[in-house]
Structure 1
């Protein structure tokens, strides 16, 4: 089985290191800069449970060196995907599957979703339609990423928490390709449940990201601070209820109550969201996949999003001013 991890940063590097440790797949990674140089020199190093291990992996800056793959795991942030298409396409053959490990609403969301919006495209995450056209939604396998990992220094990935990557076909079927991928990941020590309704799981994670990320970026607050403050907690709750109405109109099931979801976020503690961290470090922020796309789905389904609209306008303006909005 040939597997290429495209974007072997924190999460991609963690997946690649675990697969390399298992030694079953013909594994390669696409990386760049100092990270690529370090991997080529000293191997891909993973710090897990306080122990460091190094794995020799085939690493390339140009994906064309690697050839056609059985699976391409895309671990880039959603806003980086369009710009990487020229590099990704050479990895794709007739039977290649593409595993989408991005946060937020995926570009393939309406593929195989029965109803009047089937095969509609989400402009917020695929503005020109190039991702849909060049990768093809029929290749997509959905993935919801739960682990936390960081790149301490180039070439070294530190696992922080979690091992679960939920997988699912847009059609909901337990296909041979998704079950084979799950088996490979499980053999590598990862949890990889195959879900019949991957969209509902995408929404449960998105539910919190939609509100806590922009509120934290706007206020500089941690999750615990947002939840403990009555006003910001109420703001988050209102945004989540607007999103829930959209999701339910699309057939999504929310297995937990909104207040329980908020309580769980607060229990994470003094954690800075990824959007706040990106703002502080001057990096592009995941606004469109996490917030703009939900606003767009509201427009497509006729569900109003007045609170989401206001928060989106404010966080987008802040990101533009700081040079952190990729557009």
Structure 2
């Protein structure tokens, strides 16, 4: 399968590397010329536990010379989705599928508006990636699952084909008829800890030791569950405590979610697509979301203080 990955940071490089290794024709797309040159000249070093290997990858700064692909995987930050998918038009042919593996809710709508809803697949992954250097990535795929599906829940040949390619690469992947429920499950896990880590600056070891933080997290997740139910979404997470504990499952005390990493690096966060999604969908269904509104406001205030907000 010919695949273009928009956003070859840690996760995009990890997924792209193992897909390349398994025989797919993968193009890793990233703006940084330096990063792209290093990957093309030295290859990509994948590290899984004590196992290390170099994978020869194809990296590009844009999509102009790649040609049409079978699948576009979107892994840019959510606030860059529209720009990224518009710039990806040269890769999109008559039968090209486009699949988001991003955090939060709302990316699929943006993608569908640009390239057409008929192209859009929905995915959520628990695979992890850590970028050590520009061409060295820790792959966290063992025991981590990926779920993909059609927006309407149908099990189609094309989504099965994508799952087959992922599974062949060792990315344990299941086609789901309830992908919207899985999306909301993952959203609730992000709601539980992301904004609170960003606001308090606490990694998980500290976050999980403050009872008041836990109470706030459970209240935010409870709002998310209420909104999902009002939207007719079938969740596997039934109680807020489940999202709270699943968020930290198997992770070390020094783990920092992406919200905290973005703030520490002086970057804009994805708050609008995580807690902001709960607020947005709550307003559509007349479900109150006061805790998530406060969390969004706090993160927005931090972004403004860093010079990333608007007056």
Counterpart position of 1:291: 275
Contact 1:45/1:156 (8 A) holds in 2: yes
The separation in 1 between residues aligned to 2:236 and 2:62, in whole angstroms, is 43
1:235 aligns with 2:178: no
Q: Find out whether 1:68 has 2:48 as its counterpart.
A: no
- For 1:50 and 1:320, the matched residues in 2 are separated by 42
Per-residue CA deviations over 1:86-110 (Å, capped at 9, x if unaligned) read 321111111110010110003336x
User: How far does the alpha carbon of each residue in 1:23-45 deviate from its partner, in whole angstroms, 9 at most, with x for none?
Assistant: 1x222221232220111101122
* Equivalent pair of 1:214/1:275 in contact (CA under 8 Å): yes
Aligned residue in 1 for 2:50: 50
1:196-252 alpha-carbon deviations (Å, 9 max, x no partner)? 111111111111212311111111122343333221111111111111110011122
- Give the TM-score taking structure 2 as reference length: 0.92
Residue 296 (structure 2) aligned to one of 304, 312, 315: 312
In structure 2, list runs of 5 or more residues that go unmatched: none
Higher mean C-alpha displacement, 12-21 vs 83-92: 83-92
Q: Corresponding residue for 2:244?
A: 262
Number of equivalenced pairs: 306
Q: State the partner residue of 1:31.
A: 30
How far, CA to CA, are the matches of 1:202 and 1:264 in structure 2?
Answer: 15
Distance 1:79 1:45 in 2: 29
> What is the rounded CA distance, in whole Å, between the counterparts of 1:239 and 1:246 in structure 2?
11
- CA distance 1:326–1:50, change in 2 (3 Å): farther
Structure with the largest fraction of strand: 2
Residue matched to 2:185: 204
Q: Is the 8 A contact 1:147 1:161 kept in 2?
A: yes
Task: Confirm or deny: 8 A CA contact 1:246 1:298 kept in the other structure.
Answer: yes
Is the contact made by 1:285 and 1:324 (CA closer than 8 Å) also made in structure 2? no
3-state SS of the aligned residue for 1:159? strand
1:143 aligns with 2:123: yes
How far apart are the structure 2 equivalents of 1:265 and 1:210? 9
2 CA distance for matches of 1:239 and 1:205? 14
Structure 2 CA distance for aligned equivalents of residues 105 and 326 of structure 1: 23
2:137 to 154, 157, 177: 157
TM-score (norm 1): 0.88
Matched residue SS, 2:114: helix
Ranges in structure 1 where 5+ consecutive residues have no aligned partner: 110-125
| Partners of 1:76 and 1:101 within 8 A in 2 | no
1:223 to 193, 204, 208: 204
